[in-house]
Amino acid sequence: MTLPVFLAPMEGLTNSIYRRAHARAFPGLAGYYSPFITPNSSKKLTTRELSDILPENNPGQALVPQILTSRAEDFLWCAGKLRSFGYEEVNLNLGCPSGTVVSKGRGAGFLARREELERFLDEIFSQAPCRVSIKTRVGLESAEEFPALLGLFRRYPLSRLIVHPRTRTQFYKGEPRRECFRAALEGSPFPVVYNGDLFCVKDVRAFGEEYPAAAGVMCGRGLIADPGLERRLAGEEPGRERYRAFIDEVLEGYLAVWRDKRAVVAHMKEVWCYMISLFPDSRRHAKAIRKANTVEDYRAAVEALFAEREVVPLDEWSFGRLGG
Ligand SMILES: Cc1cc2nc3c(=O)[nH]c(=O)nc-3n(C[C@H](O)[C@H](O)[C@H](O)COP(=O)(O)O)c2cc1C
């Protein structure tokens, strides 16, 4: 049983340059969710936000832009703007665990302000210019908050509910509460997608067998670690060259738009923190990538890695768990 696979939004990692290279090298994902946009009363998207979601920068993807706010007016303005670009669905972020976001009552912080959240949902669902999906955690501090939240969500015509079944307090650690996902799946009038700790083919297959009624899985760290994960699920074995072409395209994409070459290298290193797990016995190469300060050093380190090591997916060797 193969479920549709979506790329999770990951701020700083899955921006348009990354997504574009991904969609070319590994087409097949059911959709891509953008990292969040934070609209405010200025009613202007930043240059960075705009360039990330402009349709011409996102070819070949079913892209859903994500919005982070607790003000209905700002959400509706932003959704209208995104609709004018042609987007038919926007996603509301109710999961971001970051301190500055939560303290303002946004992201996962909104989950604990249920009356305010209800007024917000009333307003956005009565006026939204397009479909609205929600990506949520199961509570701020405790999963016991989830049944009431679920009851609230079920009163609205969500196009999709994506559940990352951890509380804000857990951040990305600890076991996801799959029983919460099951509760969401059973009896919701909208499609429910699972997100959390699905890192390799085995994980996704086992999940699909246990939850065949899920509307899909959303993968974050697992897809950054193995951008070909969905292709493997579809029965392909993407070769080393494909990974090489992909990661080189990401690099070239950044070099074409960022003047600060050091920032480009720093960014590539972040991607490699995850992707290095595709290459067993690569400590030396990982160190060379980590130590690279110039584009030339970086290129040399990546060249050596691909020349000297094989691509072996996580299923087949014991890297350990990415989230651990
Ligand atoms: C660096 C980083 C950035 C993230 N940025 C976002 C974001 O912008 N919006 C969002 O909804 N979730 C964000 N997340 C959460 C992921 O979308 C996802 O829920 C989380 O990584 C768990 O899924 P996984 O176990 O498949 O990685 C981020 C996570 C990480 C680690």
- Name the residue ranges covered by the structural domains of the chain: 5-233, 240-314
Structure tokens at 46: 């930043």
- Going by the DSSP 8-state scheme, the letter that residue 55 receives in this structure is G
Q: Could you list the pLDDT tens digit for every one of the 324 residues in the chain?
A: 689 999 999 999 999 999 999 999 999 999 999 999 999 989 999 999 999 999 999 999 999 999 999 999 999 999 999 999 999 999 999 999 999 999 999 999 999 999 999 999 999 999 999 999 999 999 999 999 999 999 999 999 999 999 999 999 999 999 999 999 999 999 999 999 999 999 999 999 999 999 999 999 999 999 999 999 999 999 999 999 999 999 999 999 999 999 999 999 999 999 999 999 999 999 999 999 999 999 999 999 999 999 999 999 888 765 554 443
* Residue 95 Cβ contacting ligand 1 at under 6 Å: yes
pLDDT of 108: 98
pLDDT of 324: 36
For the chain, the distance separating the N- and C-terminal CA atoms, rounded to the nearest angstrom, is 27
SS3 182: helix
Which atom of ligand 1 sits closest to the CA of residue 219?
A: 26
Q: Give DSSP secondary structure letters for 14-40.
A: SSHHHHHHHHHHS---SEEEEEEE---
Q: Which residues of 3-41 are buried (b: 16+ CB within 10 A; e: fewer)?
A: bbbbbbbbeebbbbbbbbbbbebbeebbbbbbbbbbbee
How close is the Cα of 86 to the center of ligand 1, in Å? Answer: 25
Tens digit of each residue's pLDDT (9 = 90 or more) over 189-212: 999 999 999 999 999 999 999 999
Structure tokens at 50: 């705009």
HSE of 186 in the Cβ direction (CA atoms, 13 Å)? 8
| Long-range pairs for 246-251: beta carbons < 8 A, 24 or more residues apart | 246/21, 246/22, 246/24, 246/25, 246/26, 247/21, 247/271, 247/275, 247/302, 248/302, 249/20, 249/21, 249/24, 249/25, 250/17, 250/18, 250/21, 251/295, 251/298, 251/299
Structure tokens at 94: 């109710």
pLDDT of 141: 97
Specify the amino acid at residue 187.
G
Tens digit of each residue's pLDDT (9 = 90 or more) over 44-63: 999 999 999 999 999 999 99
| Closest among 253, 307, 287, 310 to 22, alpha carbons compared | 253
Q: Which of 11, 138, 200 has the most ligand 1 atoms within 8 A of CB, as the residue to mutate?
A: 11
Q: Which of 63, 172, 197, 207 has the most ligand 1 atoms within 8 A of CB, as the residue to mutate?
A: 172
Q: Return the CATH superfamily for domain 5-233.
A: Aldolase class I (3.20.20.70)
Say if pTM beats, i.e. exceeds, 0.95.
Answer: yes
pLDDT of 317: 62
